[in-house]
Amino acid sequence: MEIPLDLAWTEATMLAGVRIVAFLIIAPPFSSSAIPVRVKAMLGMGLALAVSPRAASGYVTLDTAPFFGALLSEIIIGALLGFLVFIVFAAIQSAGGLIDMFGGFQLAQAFDPQMMINGAQFTRLFQMTALALLFASDGYQLIIGGLSRSFSALPIGVGIDLAEPAQAITAAVGQMFLAAVQIAGPLIVVLFLADVGLGLLTRVAPALNAFSLGFPLKILLTVLLAAVAFVVLPQIVASLTDDAVDAMLGVY
Protein backbone atom coordinates (compact mmCIF):
# COMPACT_ATOMS: atom_id res chain seq x y z
CA MET A 1 0.00 0.00 0.00
CA GLU A 2 1.35 3.41 -0.96
CA ILE A 3 0.44 6.57 0.89
CA PRO A 4 0.84 9.69 -1.28
CA LEU A 5 2.67 12.52 0.49
CA ASP A 6 2.42 16.10 -0.71
CA LEU A 7 5.89 17.45 0.07
CA ALA A 8 4.97 21.07 -0.64
CA TRP A 9 1.98 20.89 1.74
CA THR A 10 4.15 19.27 4.42
CA GLU A 11 6.85 21.92 4.17
CA ALA A 12 4.33 24.77 4.17
CA THR A 13 2.56 23.33 7.23
CA MET A 14 5.86 22.95 9.10
CA LEU A 15 6.89 26.52 8.30
CA ALA A 16 3.44 27.79 9.34
CA GLY A 17 3.80 25.90 12.62
CA VAL A 18 7.16 27.56 13.25
CA ARG A 19 5.63 31.02 12.72
CA ILE A 20 2.69 30.26 15.00
CA VAL A 21 4.83 28.76 17.80
CA ALA A 22 7.18 31.77 17.71
CA PHE A 23 4.10 33.99 17.99
CA LEU A 24 2.58 32.01 20.88
CA ILE A 25 5.79 32.14 22.91
CA ILE A 26 5.83 35.95 22.93
CA ALA A 27 2.24 37.17 22.50
CA PRO A 28 -0.18 37.36 25.43
CA PRO A 29 -2.20 35.60 26.68
CA PHE A 30 -0.38 32.51 25.38
CA SER A 31 3.04 33.67 26.61
CA SER A 32 2.08 33.05 30.24
CA SER A 33 4.24 30.50 32.03
CA ALA A 34 1.03 28.91 33.32
CA ILE A 35 0.70 27.39 29.82
CA PRO A 36 3.38 24.67 29.41
CA VAL A 37 5.72 24.83 26.44
CA ARG A 38 4.46 21.44 25.28
CA VAL A 39 0.91 22.77 25.16
CA LYS A 40 2.07 25.81 23.17
CA ALA A 41 3.84 23.54 20.68
CA MET A 42 0.76 21.30 20.32
CA LEU A 43 -1.49 24.35 19.91
CA GLY A 44 0.89 25.76 17.31
CA MET A 45 0.86 22.57 15.26
CA GLY A 46 -2.92 22.31 15.54
CA LEU A 47 -3.34 25.88 14.29
CA ALA A 48 -0.81 25.15 11.53
CA LEU A 49 -2.97 22.29 10.31
CA ALA A 50 -6.00 24.58 10.43
CA VAL A 51 -4.34 27.27 8.28
CA SER A 52 -2.47 24.80 6.03
CA PRO A 53 -4.82 25.31 3.01
CA ARG A 54 -4.11 29.04 3.12
CA ALA A 55 -0.42 28.63 3.94
CA ALA A 56 0.23 26.00 1.24
CA SER A 57 -1.55 27.96 -1.48
CA GLY A 58 1.05 28.82 -4.08
CA TYR A 59 3.94 27.35 -2.07
CA VAL A 60 6.71 25.67 -4.08
CA THR A 61 9.07 23.07 -2.57
CA LEU A 62 12.43 24.59 -1.64
CA ASP A 63 15.92 23.18 -1.60
CA THR A 64 17.82 22.70 1.65
CA ALA A 65 19.50 26.11 1.92
CA PRO A 66 16.40 28.15 0.89
CA PHE A 67 14.30 26.04 3.25
CA PHE A 68 16.46 26.93 6.25
CA GLY A 69 16.35 30.57 5.13
CA ALA A 70 12.56 30.38 5.03
CA LEU A 71 12.59 28.74 8.47
CA LEU A 72 14.56 31.65 9.93
CA SER A 73 12.26 34.11 8.18
CA GLU A 74 9.16 32.49 9.70
CA ILE A 75 10.70 32.65 13.18
CA ILE A 76 11.37 36.37 12.72
CA ILE A 77 7.86 37.06 11.38
CA GLY A 78 6.17 35.17 14.21
CA ALA A 79 8.34 36.86 16.83
CA LEU A 80 7.67 40.33 15.38
CA LEU A 81 3.91 39.81 15.31
CA GLY A 82 3.96 38.44 18.85
CA PHE A 83 6.08 41.36 20.04
CA LEU A 84 3.57 43.83 18.60
CA VAL A 85 0.77 42.20 20.59
CA PHE A 86 2.99 42.14 23.70
CA ILE A 87 3.73 45.88 23.42
CA VAL A 88 0.05 46.79 23.11
CA PHE A 89 -0.97 44.80 26.20
CA ALA A 90 2.06 46.04 28.14
CA ALA A 91 0.02 49.24 28.59
CA ILE A 92 -2.06 47.54 31.30
CA GLN A 93 1.05 46.37 33.15
CA SER A 94 2.59 49.84 32.82
CA ALA A 95 -0.59 51.44 34.17
CA GLY A 96 -0.43 49.15 37.19
CA GLY A 97 3.22 50.10 37.67
CA LEU A 98 2.32 53.80 37.65
CA ILE A 99 -0.38 53.22 40.25
CA ASP A 100 2.09 51.27 42.42
CA MET A 101 4.71 54.00 42.13
CA PHE A 102 2.46 56.96 42.91
CA GLY A 103 0.40 55.07 45.49
CA GLY A 104 3.30 53.91 47.63
CA PHE A 105 3.08 50.20 46.78
CA GLN A 106 6.40 50.10 44.92
CA LEU A 107 8.22 49.09 48.12
CA ALA A 108 6.46 45.71 47.91
CA GLN A 109 7.85 44.98 44.44
CA ALA A 110 8.56 41.32 43.74
CA PHE A 111 9.11 38.99 40.79
CA ASP A 112 6.22 36.77 39.75
CA PRO A 113 7.72 33.65 38.12
CA GLN A 114 4.38 32.48 36.75
CA MET A 115 3.47 35.74 35.02
CA MET A 116 7.15 36.56 34.29
CA ILE A 117 6.72 40.17 35.47
CA ASN A 118 8.48 42.22 38.10
CA GLY A 119 6.16 44.57 39.94
CA ALA A 120 4.06 45.31 42.98
CA GLN A 121 0.46 44.44 43.75
CA PHE A 122 -1.43 46.46 41.14
CA THR A 123 1.03 45.59 38.37
CA ARG A 124 0.45 41.87 38.89
CA LEU A 125 -3.27 42.29 39.57
CA PHE A 126 -3.90 44.24 36.37
CA GLN A 127 -1.81 41.82 34.31
CA MET A 128 -3.58 38.71 35.66
CA THR A 129 -6.99 40.33 35.18
CA ALA A 130 -6.17 41.32 31.59
CA LEU A 131 -5.09 37.76 30.72
CA ALA A 132 -8.24 36.33 32.34
CA LEU A 133 -10.41 38.79 30.41
CA LEU A 134 -8.72 37.84 27.14
CA PHE A 135 -9.82 34.25 27.62
CA ALA A 136 -13.23 35.08 29.10
CA SER A 137 -14.19 37.56 26.38
CA ASP A 138 -12.83 35.47 23.47
CA GLY A 139 -10.37 38.25 22.71
CA TYR A 140 -7.72 35.64 22.07
CA GLN A 141 -9.75 34.48 19.06
CA LEU A 142 -9.38 37.91 17.45
CA ILE A 143 -5.62 37.72 17.99
CA ILE A 144 -5.45 34.24 16.45
CA GLY A 145 -7.63 35.47 13.58
CA GLY A 146 -5.17 38.29 12.91
CA LEU A 147 -2.32 35.78 12.94
CA SER A 148 -4.12 33.49 10.47
CA ARG A 149 -4.65 36.41 8.07
CA SER A 150 -0.90 36.97 8.04
CA PHE A 151 -0.47 33.85 5.90
CA SER A 152 -2.41 35.53 3.10
CA ALA A 153 -0.61 38.86 3.38
CA LEU A 154 2.82 37.35 4.11
CA PRO A 155 2.95 34.00 2.30
CA ILE A 156 5.24 31.23 3.47
CA GLY A 157 8.83 31.55 2.25
CA VAL A 158 8.43 35.06 0.81
CA GLY A 159 10.10 36.98 3.63
CA ILE A 160 9.30 40.39 5.06
CA ASP A 161 10.46 43.95 4.64
CA LEU A 162 11.72 45.05 8.07
CA ALA A 163 10.81 48.70 7.42
CA GLU A 164 7.09 48.11 8.01
CA PRO A 165 7.54 46.19 11.32
CA ALA A 166 9.92 48.89 12.59
CA GLN A 167 7.30 51.58 11.97
CA ALA A 168 4.59 49.42 13.53
CA ILE A 169 6.71 48.78 16.65
CA THR A 170 7.49 52.49 17.01
CA ALA A 171 3.81 53.37 16.76
CA ALA A 172 2.86 50.59 19.19
CA VAL A 173 5.37 51.79 21.79
CA GLY A 174 3.98 55.32 21.65
CA GLN A 175 0.45 53.96 21.87
CA MET A 176 1.44 51.82 24.86
CA PHE A 177 2.74 54.81 26.86
CA LEU A 178 -0.33 56.86 25.94
CA ALA A 179 -2.72 54.09 26.98
CA ALA A 180 -0.87 53.55 30.27
CA VAL A 181 -1.16 57.23 31.15
CA GLN A 182 -4.84 57.29 30.14
CA ILE A 183 -5.62 54.30 32.36
CA ALA A 184 -3.72 55.46 35.44
CA GLY A 185 -3.93 59.22 34.78
CA PRO A 186 -7.01 60.10 36.87
CA LEU A 187 -5.66 58.26 39.90
CA ILE A 188 -2.24 59.88 39.50
CA VAL A 189 -3.86 63.33 39.42
CA VAL A 190 -5.79 62.60 42.64
CA LEU A 191 -2.64 61.38 44.39
CA PHE A 192 -0.74 64.45 43.21
CA LEU A 193 -3.47 66.73 44.56
CA ALA A 194 -3.31 64.83 47.87
CA ASP A 195 0.43 65.55 48.08
CA VAL A 196 -0.22 69.22 47.30
CA GLY A 197 -2.91 69.38 50.01
CA LEU A 198 -0.60 67.79 52.58
CA GLY A 199 2.15 70.22 51.63
CA LEU A 200 -0.16 73.23 52.05
CA LEU A 201 -1.41 71.87 55.37
CA THR A 202 2.16 71.48 56.59
CA ARG A 203 2.93 75.09 55.64
CA VAL A 204 -0.18 76.38 57.41
CA ALA A 205 0.19 74.23 60.56
CA PRO A 206 3.72 72.80 60.83
CA ALA A 207 2.99 71.32 64.25
CA LEU A 208 0.50 68.86 62.75
CA ASN A 209 3.26 67.07 60.79
CA ALA A 210 0.77 66.28 58.02
CA PHE A 211 3.34 64.39 55.96
CA SER A 212 3.29 61.60 58.54
CA LEU A 213 -0.19 60.84 57.20
CA GLY A 214 1.03 60.84 53.62
CA PHE A 215 1.64 57.13 53.10
CA PRO A 216 -1.55 55.88 54.84
CA LEU A 217 -3.67 58.49 53.04
CA LYS A 218 -2.21 57.73 49.60
CA ILE A 219 -2.59 53.99 50.13
CA LEU A 220 -6.24 54.48 51.14
CA LEU A 221 -6.93 56.68 48.11
CA THR A 222 -5.18 54.21 45.81
CA VAL A 223 -7.20 51.25 47.06
CA LEU A 224 -10.49 53.15 46.79
CA LEU A 225 -9.92 54.78 43.41
CA ALA A 226 -8.17 51.81 41.76
CA ALA A 227 -11.52 50.04 41.95
CA VAL A 228 -12.80 52.52 39.35
CA ALA A 229 -10.01 51.59 36.93
CA PHE A 230 -10.59 47.94 37.70
CA VAL A 231 -14.28 48.24 36.77
CA VAL A 232 -13.52 49.69 33.34
CA LEU A 233 -10.74 47.17 32.68
CA PRO A 234 -12.97 44.92 30.47
CA GLN A 235 -13.61 47.81 28.08
CA ILE A 236 -9.90 48.65 28.11
CA VAL A 237 -8.94 45.06 27.27
CA ALA A 238 -11.47 44.99 24.43
CA SER A 239 -10.06 48.21 23.00
CA LEU A 240 -6.47 46.99 23.33
CA THR A 241 -7.39 43.73 21.59
CA ASP A 242 -8.61 45.70 18.58
CA ASP A 243 -5.45 47.80 18.70
CA ALA A 244 -3.29 44.65 18.80
CA VAL A 245 -5.04 43.23 15.73
CA ASP A 246 -4.68 46.56 13.91
CA ALA A 247 -0.97 46.63 14.79
CA MET A 248 -0.54 43.14 13.33
CA LEU A 249 -2.41 44.11 10.18
CA GLY A 250 -0.23 47.22 9.88
CA VAL A 251 2.79 45.00 9.26
CA TYR A 252 1.17 43.55 6.15
Query: Is 55 part of any domain?
Result: yes
Q: CA–CA separation, 166 vs 34, rounded Å? A: 30
Report pLDDT for 183: 80
Residue 213 lies in a domain: yes
The number of folded domains in the chain is 1
Q: Identify the band that residue 113 occupies on the pLDDT scale cut at 50, 70 and 90.
A: low
Q: What is the pLDDT of residues 147-160, one digit of tens each?
A: 888 888 778 877 66
Please say if the pLDDT value at position 91 is more than 80.
Answer: yes
The residues near 28 (Cβ < 8 Å, ≥ 6 apart) are 85, 86, 89, 130, 131, 134
pLDDT number for residue 99: 82
pLDDT in tens, 193-246: 887 877 777 777 776 666 677 777 777 888 888 777 778 888 888 888 888 888
Residue 228 lies in a domain: yes
By the 8 A CB rule, do 225 and 122 touch? no
Question: What amino acid occupies position 201?
Answer: L
Whole-number pLDDT of residue 226: 78
Which of 7, 2, 221, 237 has the alpha carbon at shortest distance from 99? 221
- Band (pLDDT 50/70/90 cuts) for residue 114 is low
With respect to residue 2, please indicate whether it lies within any of the assigned structural domains. no
Average pLDDT, the chain: 79
Q: Say how many C-beta atoms besides its own lie within 10 A of residue 43's C-beta.
A: 16
Residue 239 falls inside a structural domain: yes
HEC assignment per residue over the chain: CCCCCCHHHHHHHHHHHHHHHHHHHHCCCCCCCCCCHHHHHHHHHHHHHHCHHHHCCCCCCCCHHHHHHHHHHHHHHHHHHHHHHHHHHHHHHHHHHHHHHHHCCHHHCEEECCCCEEECHHHHHHHHHHHHHHHHCCHHHHHHHHHHHHHHHCCCCCCCCCHHHHHHHHHHHHHHHHHHHHHHHHHHHHHHHHHHHHHHHHHHCHHHCHHHHHHHHHHHHHHHHHHHHHHCHHHHHHHHHHHHHHHHHHHC
pLDDT score recorded for residue 171: 78
Q: Does some domain include residue 89?
A: yes
* Residue 50 within any structural domain of the chain: yes
Name the pTM for this structure: 0.81
Domain that holds residue 197: 7-251
